[in-house]
Structure 1
Amino acid sequence: MTDGWAPELLLAGVVLLGGCVQWLTGMGFALVAVPGLVLLLGPAQGVVLANCAAGANCAAGAISAFGLVDGRRAVRLPVMAPLCLAAVITVPAGTWVARQLPEPALLACLGALVTGAVALVMRGLRVPALRGGRGAVVAGGLGGFMNSAAGVGGPPVSLYALNAGWTVREFVPNAQFYGVVVNLVSVTSNGLPRLTAPVWAVAVTALAAGALAGRALTGRVPENRARALVLLLALAGGLSALAKGFAGLT
């Protein structure tokens, strides 16, 4: 990051917004925050910071862990077990792929993954392969790979929940449980981001503030509006990252 407070303020805004929408939707942090984080910090550092913030209970506590305190009794362990196991297996592959790509190519891939994931979720795609036990393994495997490579592992689980007919109330605690597991494993695989102490302080403070804001807004913001906002923000960020990546390749 460059000198001055502008980049830190931008980072704080991205993390705060991501933390807030995570509380409202169960899995919005990565979709909203990853494009902005990778543009500010670069793909490698942006992805691992997103992994930390989304599930590793880093410093002030990650937003997923906050949600689990209230929703742990609603977690469906028979479904979460194959989802999480498959994700754990594929995380190293995502880490390896991310390390092989040059930064512009990785940035373009990140943007393409976010944009494509948003498009699939917006369409509400029904996929027979994402049903039952086999569907849980497929969704978990894809989510683990995408999470460690691009910081965006939620869309496959969202599509699984859609095909399983889960309500938002059922989805949120299970998505948060999955987020804690897969992000902890991703951080272990990718390592911690190499950030200065002031940047860490800004990120942790913004994350805690976003979680508190999201908790305060829960029940006050209609679910369909929160979902639409998350998807539009994610789409804009994904397209921006995609454009910057392609510009670096030319």
Structure 2
Amino acid sequence: MFTEVLLAGTVLLGSSVQWLTGMGFALVAVPALVLLLGPVDGVVLANCAAGAISVVGLAGGWRRVRPAAMVPLCVAAACTVPAGAWVTRQLPEPALLLVMGSLVTVAVLLVMRGLKVPALRGTRGAVAAGAVGGFMNSAAGVGGPPVSLYALNAGWTVREFVPNAQFYGVVVNAFSVAVNGVPRLSADQWGAVAGAMLAGALAGRALAARIPEKRARLLVLVLALAGGVTAVTKGLWGL
């Protein structure tokens, strides 16, 4: 029962920030999900939940998707998703925790710094961001930061970024689930996840009108950084 409560709380928090800012479910939830369920099931559950939220969110913004950028991003991600899944199956759990925590921590720090990289512009930049994002999504459940950096270097506004990030989330998470399979959860755990996702959607929408966007994004990144450092610490301890 205690595991279900922690699982529901993690998914609730991740869902809330996803609806609040348009990103962040995996960044916030993956470190905790990995600690609760193990690296494989934790990552795949994050893929399932983030993909489902992206599908719902995209329903109202699909007309603002930019095919010229999204096609190379998604094709590149599809090519690297199997490599990330292979890495997940090969490494022992402490090493996986260390790798996942490190990926989350580095990704958050790069996004917080707003790294400007000329190579992340145009079609080549889309391919590079998609390839790295696909690998990270299937290996660590966190594929959004490379796309965020691409959007930053392309000069996208938040209004432009959100629907395109949701489209990418639908595609890359679908590929990741197809390769990794679905998480092995009990009926009670699935019920807790579904209820928490619904509650998170309601909470996120209610908070969106009250919390400034910049402050909300900073909160997401701080929570993600704390989770990444925790996963690194547990991985090092296990080694």
Q: TM-score with structure 2 length normalisation? A: 0.98
Equivalent residue number for residue 94 of structure 2? 104
- How far has the Cα of 1:217 moved from its partner? 2.5
In structure 2, C-alpha distance between the alignment counterparts of 1:205 and 1:78, rounded to whole Å: 37
Match of 1:141 among 98, 106, 131: 131
- Supply the distance in 2 between the matched residues of 1:71 and 1:217 (Cα, whole angstroms): 20
Match of 1:204 in 2: 194
Counterpart pick for 1:128 among 105, 108, 118 = 118
Q: Which residue of 1 aligns with 2:46?
A: 50
Cα offset, 1:126, TM superposition = 0.4
Which whole-Å CA distance do the structure 1 matches of 2:201 and 2:158 have between them? 18
Return the alpha-carbon distance in structure 1 between the equivalents of residues 31 and 219 of structure 2: 15
After superposition, the C-alpha distances for 1:180-206 in whole angstroms (9 at most, x for unaligned) are: 000011000000001111001101110
Given candidates 11, 29, 36, the residue that maps to 2:32 is 36
Identity of aligned residues (%): 74
Q: Distance in 1 between matches of 2:41 and 2:158?
A: 31
- Determine the structure 2 residue equivalent to 1:167: 157
Residue 78 (structure 1) aligned to one of 68, 71, 74: 68
- Once the two structures are overlaid, the 10-residue window that deviates more, 226-235 or 23-32, is 23-32
Measured in 1, the distance between the counterparts of 2:147 and 2:197 equals: 23
Partner of 2:178: 188
Q: Give the Cα separation in 1 of the matches to 2:209 and 2:158.
A: 12
1:245 and 2:235 are equivalent in the alignment = yes
Amino acid at match of 2:42: G
Give the Cα separation in 2 of the matches to 1:136 and 1:215: 30
Give the CA deviation at 1:65: 1.2
Classify 1:219/1:78 alpha carbon distance in 2 versus 1 (closer, same or farther; 3 Å): farther
Aligned counterparts of 2:26 and 2:130: Cα–Cα separation in 1: 16
CA–CA distance in 1 between the matches of 2:202 and 2:91? 37
Which deviations, in whole Å up to 9, do the C-alpha atoms of 1:84-123 show, x marking residues without a partner?
A: 1110111001001111100110011010000000000000
Letter in 2 for 1:29: F
1:37-93 alpha-carbon deviations (Å, 9 max, x no partner): 0011111110000000000xxxxxx21111111111111111111101110111001
Post-superposition shift, 1:215?
2.2
Q: Secondary structure at the match of 2:61?
A: helix
Aligned residues: 239
Partner amino acid, structure 2, of 1:242: V
Partner-residue secondary structure (3-state), 1:178: helix
4+ long deviations beyond 6 Å: none
The TM-score, its normalising length taken from structure 1, stands at 0.94
Find the residue that maps to 1:70 and give its secondary structure: coil
Unaligned ranges ≥5, structure 1: 56-61
